Chain A
């Protein structure tokens, strides 16, 4: 994952290049959306007409796909992204309690970003870490057997880095 703080702002030429790179694949839209989000941290609105053009779709169709999938962000995320599991195995190990601690500490709700733009917390439903629950991905790195304290420590460390 590129360092989020070094992410380029919207760049139509870069976006066009990314789209052109994938446009010939069968079923190209999802791979392109992933690539755009990887580059820009979200799927910027001005990308929609470019995608529609390149893939011969209506803007509404492109928009419909983007909004269908939980992964695609409409706004930039914070510099650090915490994906916290809310599914059953993590619930069984007090995952919700651990999560609410973090959210309260950061003063945000699910999907929110701290006012200083440093941390976004997003819900996920299972990371396949269900035997080392509760679990999270912090900037893509896995963490298991979380407690309110350990999670706070991990997030603070990421924030300082």
Chain B
């Protein structure tokens, strides 16, 4: 009998909430108890997700030949996996081999998501071993002006929706004198079909902390807030733990990395209001008020949180900064097309076979995303519509699948890249119902400041309802167009101003869904 102590075999299993949602905890339990019964020593490291959600629960085993993955693993697969010797990388129908070689990951360019799903999210050792804090160290050595210049040169544009150049925003705040400035991370990821912010908070939270610290140095801000959502309790837990760990190890506080620079960071949580993702509503909410949109000017860069100059950026914008500083602006700007530089974490969701997070350079076509990368619908039926950019984004029919994923190309087709969400619908979807929902959602979430948004959306939902009932379809379609025009031009922010895009795109591309009942009613 061999009594020599053997080091335990290490497994890596995601703790990402999407993995938990399909039973990761039960898989962990099954593996743990099976190993205990066998007397096999194992340790399980919980990671974020690599973002291939159809393969969750993904179980990776560390072997001399690298990390061998199995997935999707269900609890009932566990005995079979043990029998197949999966702890040594044994053959099994669920064996996927090394994830680095998996085509879905091989096709990606992971810059912002380089670590997500690979490291222990709360291990600073893992973080630094994979290039973490290289960007901040470089930032400290080059100083504020050079940091802003690098971010500008990288071509990074805001990933929250509007695509505004991040470096330009930072420069405005850097140039504004004030006793206190703030960095605010917009993690109020409310768009349906998006989960990139959430995955970073759960899978690589130090990357956000590093990015925000760099932003603080660049503009002279000593305090940061992350505004997250109450719908993300798991992400918030991990993010809070990471902040505590960063404080404990001198990576936040009065002397970050021994540089003498102060940067404090706090997580705040919203309360279920979509409009609080709008930057000025978010600032109001952070101040403890109703989340009502502020008129601009003044810009947050001049008068933001508590009246002070504030950088407010989407989480992905901020989490992309470390790699830009670590690898250089040119490295990042080399990816992409036209004025869309770098990479975008595209989030493929809804009725799709291969849903998940796909980070790639701008320029891939919508058709490649949906039919190629996403592999068509989950139900196996034809794709009918794809909503891009969240609830304020247009519905694209397959006819427009040649549209390249690029801010300008999407805008030319009345579309929106937004925060990178792509939601697929099969041919069973009723586009009139989707148009009605867009109006209803606007009515539910309106902050109430503008009449066209508040009242127009309620009217809009009623009008679509009438069209769906086949009542005076022509007159009501004309009325709907009018309402949309009023909302577009009479709204202070994009909630009221962009809701017409999903509505009108549905009318334009799927007229039959608005006329079907008309024909039926006339019979």
Q: Which residues of A contact B (CB under 8 A)?
A: 26-31, 33-34, 55, 64-65, 68-72, 83, 87-93, 124-133, 135, 137, 140-145
List 23 A–B pairs whose Cβ atoms lie within 8 Å, in order of A's numbering: A34-B269, A55-B288, A69-B270, A70-B273, A71-B230, A71-B271, A88-B391, A89-B423, A93-B351, A93-B378, A124-B272, A125-B444, A128-B17, A128-B235, A130-B192, A130-B421, A131-B54, A131-B355, A133-B350, A137-B233, A141-B20, A142-B18, A145-B21
Residue in A27, A65, A92 whose beta carbon sits within 8 Å of that of B350 in the complex: A92
When the two chains form their complex, are residues A131 and B288 in contact, meaning their CB atoms are under 8 A apart? no
Q: Which of B422-451 contact A (CB under 8 A)?
A: 423-426, 429, 434, 437, 441, 444-445
Chain B residue nearest to A145 (CB atoms) is B22
Residue in A34, A68, A131 whose beta carbon sits within 8 Å of that of B347 in the complex: A131
When the two chains form their complex, are residues B190 and A132 in contact, meaning their CB atoms are under 8 A apart? no
Q: Which of B130-138, B147-155, B193-201 contacts A (4 or more CB under 8 A)?
A: B193-201
Interface majority SS (helix, strand, loop, mixed), chain B: mixed
Q: Assuming A132-B53, A142-B17, is B190 touching A92 (CB within 8 A)?
A: no
Q: How far is the CA of A38 from the CA of B441 in the complex (A)?
A: 27
Number of B positions contacting A (CB below 8 A)? 61
Chain A residue nearest to B289 (CB atoms) is A65
Residue in B20, B190, B271, B441 whose beta carbon sits within 8 Å of that of A69 in the complex: B271
Residues in B with CB closer than 8 Å to A133 are: 349-351
- Shortest CB-to-CB span from B443 to chain A, Å, is 13
Q: Cβ of B268 < 8 Å from any Cβ of A?
A: yes
Residues in A with CB closer than 8 Å to B352 are: 131
- Shortest CB-to-CB span from A57 to chain B, Å, is 9
When the two chains form their complex, are residues A125 and B347 in contact, meaning their CB atoms are under 8 A apart? no
Q: Cβ of B287 < 8 Å from any Cβ of A?
A: yes
> Considering residues A26, A69, A89, which has the most beta carbons from chain B within 10 angstroms of its beta carbon?
A89
Chain A residue nearest to B424 (CB atoms) is A92
When the two chains form their complex, are residues B285 and A142 in contact, meaning their CB atoms are under 8 A apart? no
Q: Cβ of B457 < 8 Å from any Cβ of A?
A: no
Chain B residue nearest to A37 (CB atoms) is B271
| Closest 9 A/B residue pairs (Cβ) | A131-B355, A144-B21, A29-B288, A69-B271, A130-B349, A87-B192, A92-B350, A70-B272, A71-B271
When the two chains form their complex, are residues B423 and A72 in contact, meaning their CB atoms are under 8 A apart? no
Interface 1/0s, chain B 276-313, versus A by CB < 8 A?
00000000011111111000000000000010000000
Q: How far is the CA of A47 from the CA of B355 in the complex (A)?
A: 44
Residues in A with CB closer than 8 Å to B230 are: 34, 71
Q: How far is the CA of A93 from the CA of B291 in the complex (A)?
A: 31
Given A91-B429, A131-B347, 9 other A-B residues pairs in contact with their CB atoms under 8 A: A26-B306, A88-B387, A92-B423, A126-B193, A128-B17, A128-B189, A128-B194, A132-B21, A133-B351
Q: Cβ of B191 < 8 Å from any Cβ of A?
A: yes
Q: Cβ of B234 < 8 Å from any Cβ of A?
A: yes
- Shortest CB-to-CB span from A85 to chain B, Å, is 8
Q: How far is the CA of A144 from the CA of B57 in the complex (A)?
A: 12
Residues in B with CB closer than 8 Å to A140 are: 233
When the two chains form their complex, are residues B290 and A126 in contact, meaning their CB atoms are under 8 A apart? no
Q: Assuming A65-B288, A87-B192, is B350 touching A125 (CB within 8 A)?
A: no
Residue in A27, A71, A129 whose beta carbon sits within 8 Å of that of B288 in the complex: A27
